[in-house]
Structure 1
Amino acid sequence: MTLSIVLAFGLFLGLIVFLGLIARSLAMLGKRVPGEDREFLDPLSTPLRVLWPLVRFLDFHFGRLYPPGIVKRVELQLQLTGRSYLLSARQFISLSLVAAAIALIMALLVARWLGSSSLMFPLAAALLGSLLPRLWLRDIRARTVKQVEKQLPVYLDFLTLSMEAGLNLNGSLTQAVSKGPGGPLKREFEHVLRDLKSGLPRADALRRMDDRLQIREVTNFVSSVVQSERMGGSIATTLRFQSEQRRTERFQRAEKQAMEAPVKLIFPLVVFIFPVTFIVLGFPIVMKFMQEGLL
């Protein structure tokens, strides 16, 4: 009995020493991570600020081991969503790993509490946790495309009116940015103005905006302006035609969504509304039959 107590006490002390050594090693590795200057970067949200030390730890120690192909694809996704000034591609992959680890630990705790020994639920939770940042980027991309398609006719109207009033394209862009609504398109036009001020040719600045967004309407706008400038045509006329075309497309999208609404309502009607209606109407009849002994 005494020997068992001594062995258990020794194992307990050994476990404490082992955990202490691991914590000390992690602390030393954490101190090796250099500081980060975010003066010219986008501010972090509250959830990212909480997870950021772990993200930077993984990025600093293991970021160079990430496959280059995956890093390149993530860089393109960050560029398309306008989040390249928030975090890098390797930091995004590190964020996915951190989310997967947190989901795995929480799933293991839940499985332990439920008394389950299956690993399917923790592994599925880890997979879902790793996919959450990608779903976040996909949602941002969808909202960006929708906002750009909605705001592009407004900015084209501003550009057209400014050029017809006598301003050149650079001055018209400045007026459109100062008067136009906020959103991703305004930020992209601000990037175009910064590129122009840095000495980049106007066609190249517009093409860089097209590469960052990769939206069909923006591609048509950039191609028309660049071609009109190259051929010596009237940019104001081109912009007015683009504005009318974009506005027509916006009305067509609204009509399409309005026509799709009745089709989308069929499922909730059949699954949720019709059964409840039949229950409300049929319950008194069934009760009447039961009282009269017909059922």
Structure 2
Amino acid sequence: MLKCTNCLNEQDSGKFCGKCGTSLMETGIPQPTAYTEAAAASPAVGAQPVNTNEHVMKAKENVSKYWSYALQVLKKPSVAFDTKDSQYVNGIITMALFVIAFALSIYFLANKLYKAVVGGFGSLFSEGGIGAESLPFFSITSSLFMFAVFFILGSFISVFLVSKFMTEGFTLKELLGQFGSILIPFTALNVVAIIFGLMGSIQLTLTLTGVSLFYTIAILPSIIVYDRAMKSEKSLNKLYWATGASAASLFIAYLIVRMSVLDFMSEIESLLNMGF
């Protein structure tokens, strides 16, 4: 489409304006065609896959960084004591892996034992009822997950409070990074416990999960507090502060067990006894 700059007349072709005779050779303004519009729109259409690929690549990069850091801590656990606040994401990931692996290992073990007791009689009853072929996955794992979360939070809160009472300068990110980093070796124990849970090995599964849980509740708080007291420029009773952190964590764990875990264990025992 050509447009005259003198009288604004529009026409499809020609060298001169049909109304005023002005030359259109130099003043004609070509309008965008359908091909031009499609070509201009094509980068926008292709932008979404590019962004998706960028997210995937970034996720892979983050996983690779966490894996490298976890291996470094496993090879040399003392590295965890020098963790900075930039590692707080890795700390949170480790704590999440700890509770997930703990819940799965216990569930797989309980489900294996339940199947061994009930055997083939599960098919004679309604699905999800008495004699079901498998234990309810979500209800049991969610409960185990929450118990592990409470134990982790209790341990972390005790470290946080004692560090505050010590008037030691630190950031929450720094504490999360150090707490999670020191937890890496015992998170690995829970991951290994999943395999033994699938195999139905009661002794190995409960030993690994028990050691990791006891370490998290009773030992980890004192280790972190003692390390912080050692690095402090103030004169602190390191042993007392470290012992106090573990005592606070154990007390919180006792309250959790008293209020919830005993009832949950009785429910599991009743489910296992259904086969007799």
TM-score when scaled to structure 1? Answer: 0.30
Q: Max radius of gyration: which structure?
A: 2
Please report the TM-score for the alignment, with normalisation by the length of structure 2: 0.32
User: Normalized per residue, which structure has more helix?
Assistant: 1
Q: Which has the higher contact order (CA 8 A, sep 6+)?
A: 2
